[in-house]
Amino acid sequence: MNWGIFTASFEGMKSRGSDLQRRIRGLRRRLTLLLAVIGPGLITSNVDNDAGGISVYTQAGAQYGYALLWSLIPMTIALYVTEEMCARMGVVTGKGLSDLIREEFGFRPTFFVMVTGFFVDLANVVAEFAGVAAAMQIFHVSKYVAVPIAAILVWILVLRGTYRQVEVIFLFACVLYLSYLFSAVLAKPDWLLAAEHTVVPNLRLDSGYLIMLTGLVGTTIAPWQFFYLQASFVEKKVGPRQYPQARADVLFGSISCMVIVFFIIVATAATLYVSGHRDITDAAQAAQALFPLAGKGAGILFAFGLLNASLFAASILPLSTAHVICEGLGFEAGIDHKFGEARIFYSLYTLLIVVGAAVVLLPGAPLWKILIFSQVGNGIWLPVVVIFILLLVNRRDLMGEYVNTLTFNIVAWVTAIAMIALTLVLTYTALFQRSAPPGT
Amino acid sequence: MELYATELMGAKTYDAQGHYVGRVREFFIEPAEAPNRVSHFLLSRGHFQPLVAKHNQVASVAVGKMQLNVGERALELYAPNESWLAVQKDLLDQQIIDTRGRKVVRVNDVDLTELRSNGNVELRLTQVDVGLPGAVRRLLQGVVPPKVIRKLQSKLPQRAIRWEFVNLVEPDPLRRVKLRITHEKLEDLHPADLADIVEDLSASERQSIIASLDEETAAAVLGELDARLTTQIVEDLGPEKAADILEEMAPDAAADLLADLSRETSEELLDEMPGQEADEVRELLEFDPATAGGMMNPDFIFVGETSTREEVLEWMREQELNFDQLDTIVLLDSGAQYSGAVPIARLLLAPSEQRMAELKLEPLLSLPPTADDKEVFELFDKYNLRMLTVVDKENRPIGAITVDDVVSRLVKK
């Protein structure tokens, strides 16, 4: 009788995998490696182009034509430099930004960062739902229908999805930003002039121009995005070995974000600025004005872009905020947990969405004031967060060989100081100027 | 009396003569001496060098105040010591593993209890606070009078972990030895729970835990982890240790893991493994992961179809069998070809003289290694299988796919 533990002998089966197959497998492996990492950077940067952002870009294009396009290149650098530091921290330490602040600076600083964050983000969420309402009004849908539906959609998306599914949807939303590209093409701009203004700086010293410039920077770089970016890399379990891919993701994200801004400004410059509609105050008005100027298609695409951006940011902001707070206070967080496992996380998330949407629906709600508060809040919160980031990323005991190099530090501090100065100016104008500041 | 670390931090300290010495800035436990006794207090004195008070030099402790039983001159100057666990720096705000609740939590505060003996008070660490009371204390200490805080916190729900169930996470292996941190308690957890814990930690902490587990547990944990994490961990472990762990894994799991690594790394690991195991894994690696060959485990039990139940049982008792393989037995005919499969349940109920061939499942099912995974899923679904045999061209069994392989593939999809 022949029994025994059979250890397979595969004669005649061996080395079927030819050389070609192996090479294809290698290529596939490298591609999967990149795809496995890509996402956080792309999503974070694109979600910067939210309702408030698009309003500012629209105004920039309408009031100054192509003249502000040159600021996009330095802004891309600033965005990349700051985001890269967070990505690096997430990848190297495997910990979120609020985790690190808690471990290195203690309970109280963390608590205050998070409480501020909660209220600032809540104001931002209101702004996003206001964006949804404005965009849907162009399609003749009442805000009393549009906003509740949007809120429920956003809530369900995250509650029912896994990280992977949600990320795929977010990446798809990034692609939808391309509607601004088509909108710009339909507006038949002077591409040569636009290109020239992009590379040749055009600094004017009148106050309106400078305020617009600070508005651009202030809305593009928001403090909450750093928490979100770092947390996504952590939740995605990207390790130090995949740092090059993570960096590529952040770089690609920063550039694609600015390319979209470019198209928004070009679209409005070619139409509103040229035809003299220069007193546009928000994106919805711009979309409306585009109908007669560049045709129905351009206007619809523009409004659709605003809707997409608002919805996109409205789903990420509450998520990021709930994440930050739970992480810092030591509660279970993350959408891979079930409701019962991460009760506080989901409660905060729900609260932000419900309150955010409800405020927009309140008759006679002081939306304008809330928008200003969100901008001022971002402005006050940003310096604190950026300084925490710079202190942490220079800690050798945390970062090991991945600490900032001297050159990078110089670039980072200059960027940080410039950004802080500009946001403080913006905060000042938002608080003390009688007229509405950009983005409101 | 109970005292919290937060209430002790910053406490004004007086010596036996009643002179002010300094404030408590940190206190330490020396795990090598006593696992929960506060052994040293760091007293800061402004511009002067800080002093250290030992546990036997303390006369009494109260919220915000500490009394020594010796004069200031008896105190030594502070010198950092790697084998002391610093409560503020190493414990507060850090993540620990709650071995009883099987998860990673963050420390808000530390609870201490007094142990009095003649003229001396020792503090013992009883539990770590991971709930709201600790958080409130941290936030309000020094802002609101301690009595108010105590009253407030008594109304909040408690969440604390007894010190003996706390497993510290220390990435530095040398320090871990000095602090007597072991992961023995973790080895008693189910590998799936341990895998969840490990996923919650940072990369270096993860690495330190896997590296300090015994190979069998480490292999089981790796088998439960997300593929992205396993590749990171294996790449960082170093080939020798990694190969030792791979050896303990089922060949199909090891092959899945190696397939995700770069070619050079996986070759290096295979070279470190003993010849037979390495060959098994190498052969499995030749198959596309999305085929029957990529899913199967080459270790399975087979017996001749003419043997009786009693003979089979007796033989199996003598072998060192892995329970995972013990679900279904493969039958061979006299030509060493696949002739059927017998589930253990049937074997259990059969009379002892029954021939194996009479117990086999109908219809006779098998797949070639090249069959794609969809076919595998369909067969499992249609016939409610627990195991399916994979055969080569000559109809000889070369491996078996079990239902857990199918479930984990389906979950990944």
The CATH number of residue B188's host domain is: 1.25.60.10
Is the CB of residue B94 less than 8 Å away from at least one CB of chain A?
yes
Q: Report the share of chain A in percent with pLDDT over 70.
A: 85
Is B202's CB within 8 Å of A107's CB? no
| Model confidence band, residue B80 (pLDDT cutoffs 50, 70, 90) | confident
Domain boundary among B229, B256, B286: B286
CATH of the domain at B47: 2.30.30.240
In order of their start, the domains of chain A are 33-432 (1.20.1740.10)
Q: Is B328 within the bounds of a domain? A: yes
Q: Are residues B307 and B251 in the same domain?
A: no
Tens-place pLDDT, residues B191-220:
888 888 888 888 888 888 888 888 888 888
Q: How many structural domains compose chain B?
A: 3
Measured in angstroms, the CA of A200 and the nearest CA of chain B are apart by 45
Q: How many angstroms separate the Cα of A331 from the Cα of each of A99, A349, B237?
A: 11, 13, 30
Place of tokens 């920063």: A254
Q: Which residues contact A261 (CB under 8 A, 6 or more apart)?
A: A49, A53, A57, A72, A75, A220
CB pairs under 8 A between A and B: 107
Closest among A341, A331, A421 to A99, alpha carbons compared? A331
H or E element: which one contains B284? helix B275-285
Is the CB of residue A3 less than 8 Å away from at least one CB of chain B?
yes
- pLDDT of res. A84: 92
Q: Are residues B144 and B233 in the same domain?
A: no
CATH of the domain at B306: 3.10.580.10
- pLDDT of res. A21: 59
Q: Are residues B280 and B341 in the same domain?
A: no
Cis check for the bond before B363: say yes or no (omega within 30 of 0).
Answer: yes
Question: What's the order of all strands across the beta sheet hosting B95-98?
Answer: B103-106, B95-98, B166-168
Question: Among A8-17, A354-363, B397-406, whose mean pLDDT is lowest?
Answer: A8-17
Q: Are residues B267 and B133 in the same domain?
A: no
Q: Is B68 within the bounds of a domain? A: yes
Count of CB atoms within 10 A of residue A143's CB?
Answer: 18
| Model confidence band, residue A87 (pLDDT cutoffs 50, 70, 90) | very high
Measured in angstroms, the CA of A121 and the nearest CA of chain B are apart by 22
Question: Among A361-375, B90-104, B209-223, B323-337, whose mean pLDDT is lowest?
Answer: A361-375
Closest among A81, A121, A38, A177 to A322, alpha carbons compared? A121
Q: Are residues B11 and B156 in the same domain?
A: yes
Residue A273 exposed, middle or buried by CB count within 10 Å (0-12, 13-18, 19+) = buried
Is A6's CB within 8 Å of B235's CB? no
Is the CB of residue A362 less than 8 Å away from at least one CB of chain B?
no
Closest among B38, B47, B30, B48 to B9, alpha carbons compared? B38
Domain boundary among B286, B313, B342: B286
Q: Which residues 312-341 on chain B approach chain A with CB closer than 8 angstroms?
A: 312, 315, 319, 321, 330, 332, 336
Q: How many angstroms separate the Cα of B99 from the Cα of each of B104, B168, B193, B216, B384?
A: 9, 10, 10, 19, 38
Please spell the DSSP secondary structure of A48-93, one letter per residue: TS-HHHHHHHHHHHHHHGGGGGGGHHHHHHHHHHHHHHHHHHHHHH
Chain A residues near residue B292 by CB distance under 8 angstroms = none
From the list B135, B138, B228, the residue facing A237 with the nearest CB is B228
Contact in structure between B373 and B409 (CB atoms under 8 Å): yes
Closest among B24, B74, B85 to B50, alpha carbons compared? B24
From the list A10, A108, A241, the residue facing B235 with the nearest CB is A241
Tens-place pLDDT, residues B301-355:
888 888 888 888 888 888 877 777 778 889 998 888 898 899 888 888 888 888 8
Is A94's CB within 8 Å of B201's CB? yes
Contact in structure between A35 and B334 (CB atoms under 8 Å): no
Measured in angstroms, the CA of A215 and the nearest CA of chain B are apart by 36
Is A93's CB within 8 Å of B135's CB? no
DSSP label of A151: H
Q: Which residues contact A15 (CB under 8 A, 6 or more apart)?
A: B286
Strand B366-367 relative to strand B387-391, pairing: parallel
Strand B76-77 relative to strand B85-86, pairing: unpaired
Query: Which three-class secondary structure state does DSSP give residue A332?
Result: coil
Residue in chain A lying closest to B235 (CA): A241
Q: Which ranges of A200-282 does DSSP label H, i.e. alpha helix?
A: 207-220, 224-235, 243-268, 274-275
Residue in chain B lying closest to A103 (CA): B93
Tell me the mean pLDDT in the region A38-55. Answer: 81
Residue numbers of the domain that contains B227: 182-286
Q: Is B244 within the bounds of a domain? A: yes
Closest among B260, B264, B244 to A242, alpha carbons compared? B260
Q: Report the share of chain B in percent with pLDDT over 90.
A: 3
Measured in angstroms, the CA of B119 and the nearest CA of chain A are apart by 35
Chain A residues near residue B204 by CB distance under 8 angstroms = 93-94
Q: Is B157 within the bounds of a domain? A: yes
| Model confidence band, residue A16 (pLDDT cutoffs 50, 70, 90) | very low
Q: Is B291 within the bounds of a domain? A: no
Is B398's CB within 8 Å of A10's CB? yes
Measured in angstroms, the CA of B76 and the nearest CA of chain A are apart by 28
Measured in angstroms, the CA of A105 and the nearest CA of chain B are apart by 9
Chain A residues near residue B303 by CB distance under 8 angstroms = 1, 3
Q: What is the mean pLDDT of chain B?
A: 85
Measured in angstroms, the CA of A51 and the nearest CA of chain B are apart by 34
Question: Among A192-196, A358-362, B125-129, whose mean pLDDT is lowest?
Answer: A192-196
Is the CB of residue B106 less than 8 Å away from at least one CB of chain A?
yes
Residue in chain A lying closest to B326 (CA): A5
Q: Are residues B135 and B20 in the same domain?
A: yes
pLDDT at B274 over 80: yes
Chain A residues near residue B300 by CB distance under 8 angstroms = 5-6
Count of CB atoms within 10 A of residue B349's CB?
Answer: 10
Q: Is B293 within the bounds of a domain? A: no
Chain B residues near residue A93 by CB distance under 8 angstroms = 202-204
Residue in chain B lying closest to A233 (CA): B202
Is A330's CB within 8 Å of B286's CB? no
Tell me the mean pLDDT in the region A415-424. Answer: 79
| Model confidence band, residue A243 (pLDDT cutoffs 50, 70, 90) | confident
- pLDDT of res. A346: 87
Q: Report the share of chain B in percent with pLDDT over 70.
A: 99
Phi, psi values for residue B340, rounded to 5°: 160, 180
Domain boundary among B261, B286, B311: B286
Closest among A157, A199, A128 to A370, alpha carbons compared? A128
Is the CB of residue A15 less than 8 Å away from at least one CB of chain B?
yes
Chain B residues near residue A8 by CB distance under 8 angstroms = 280, 283, 298, 397-399
- pLDDT of res. B152: 84
Q: Which residue has the higher pLDDT, B181 or B402?
A: B402
What is the distance of C-alpha A103 from the center of its chain?
26
Tokens linked to A279: 């007193």
Phi, psi values for residue B154, rounded to 5°: -65, -20
Tokens linked to A13: 């089966």
Q: Are residues B155 and B6 in the same domain?
A: yes
Q: Is B292 within the bounds of a domain? A: no
- pLDDT of res. A8: 36
* Alpha carbons A286 and A279: distance in angstroms, whole number: 10
Q: Which residues 183-242 on chain B approach chain A with CB closer than 8 angstroms?
A: 199, 201-206, 226, 228-229, 232, 235
Question: Looking at B260-371, which runs of residues are DSSP E strands?
Answer: 299-304, 328-332, 338-343, 366-367
Q: Are residues B67 and B21 in the same domain?
A: yes
| Model confidence band, residue B288 (pLDDT cutoffs 50, 70, 90) | confident
| Model confidence band, residue A24 (pLDDT cutoffs 50, 70, 90) | low
Contact in structure between B67 and B156 (CB atoms under 8 Å): no
* Alpha carbons A387 and A382: distance in angstroms, whole number: 8
Q: Are residues B320 and B274 in the same domain?
A: no
Closest among B129, B146, B171, B120 to B9, alpha carbons compared? B146
pLDDT at B89 over 70: yes
Residue in chain B lying closest to A101 (CA): B93
Q: Are residues B326 and B403 in the same domain?
A: yes
Closest among B119, B147, B146, B126 to B60, alpha carbons compared? B119
Sign of CA dihedral A246, A251, A257, A263: negative
Q: Is B174 within the bounds of a domain? A: no
* Alpha carbons A28 and A25: distance in angstroms, whole number: 5
Contact in structure between A277 and A62 (CB atoms under 8 Å): yes
| Model confidence band, residue A61 (pLDDT cutoffs 50, 70, 90) | confident
Question: Among A4-13, A185-194, B210-219, whose mean pLDDT is lowest?
Answer: A4-13
Q: Are residues B102 and B55 in the same domain?
A: yes
Q: What is the mean pLDDT of chain A?
A: 79
Is A237's CB within 8 Å of B226's CB? yes
Question: Looking at B166-322, which runs of residues are DSSP E strands?
Answer: 166-168, 299-304
Q: Are residues B151 and B224 in the same domain?
A: no
Tokens linked to B225: 């982890």
Closest among A239, A330, A93 to B225, alpha carbons compared? A239
* Alpha carbons B330 and B388: distance in angstroms, whole number: 9
- pLDDT of res. A13: 36
Q: Which of B198, B261, B286 is best to mutate for the A interface (most A CBs within 10 A)?
A: B286
